[in-house]
Amino acid sequence: MAIERWDPFREMVSLRDAFNTLLQESFVRPDSLSGGASVLALPLDISETAEAFVVRASLPGVRPEDVQVTIHGDTLTIQGESGAEEEQQGETWHLRERRLGTFRRTVTLSVPVDADRAVAEHDHGVLKLTLPKAESARPRQIKVGPKDPSSN
């Protein structure tokens, strides 16, 4: 293993790069980068037990009937749309930060799941999916016993 001298300036970001990043994140709206067609990011939490995966997605203001969940083998897709409020005649917006538009998120799980036994619940803007693992993917315990004298 070689010893390398530490250079503190190697990891520093230039002031120009830092300022450009600050301006982009502060003033450029995400939907203006894509030409107005906004696809929203969908934050997920995924946990795993020996029997199933539990997926939680934050969907504030989205009705359950506007969400589609698809499972194909080990691939989960959640998609839908959060509707926009119609602008009223004579109404002027001062601030509009709530994200509206379509969303889609696809993740690949580590093992296939049994879609027939999956359960989806929507409560207070949180979608909770319980995705049981396919029987072939579940861990099995093999009992260890003494050697059979008839087999050599």
SS3 for 58?
A: strand
Question: If residue 127 lies in a helix (H) or strand (E), which one and from where to where?
Answer: strand 126-132
Q: Would residue 10 count as lying in a domain?
A: no
- On the 0-12 / 13-18 / 19+ scale of CB atoms within 10 A, 39 is middle
Q: Would residue 32 count as lying in a domain?
A: no
Q: Would residue 106 count as lying in a domain?
A: yes
- CATH (domain of 132): 2.60.40.790
Q: Would residue 120 count as lying in a domain?
A: yes
State pTM to two decimals: 0.62
Query: Tens-digit pLDDT profile for the chain (152 aa)?
Result: 677 777 776 666 677 777 777 776 665 454 444 444 445 678 899 999 989 999 999 988 888 999 999 999 889 999 998 876 667 788 887 777 777 788 899 999 988 999 999 999 999 989 999 999 988 766 678 888 888 777 66
Q: Would residue 116 count as lying in a domain?
A: yes
Number of compact structural domains in the chain: 1
Q: What residues make up the domain containing 121? A: 37-84+99-136
**Inter-CA distances, 87 with 78, 84, 92, 93, 96, Å:** 28, 9, 8, 9, 12
Q: Would residue 125 count as lying in a domain?
A: yes
Q: Which residue in the block uniquely carries the two structure tokens 């450029």?
A: 28
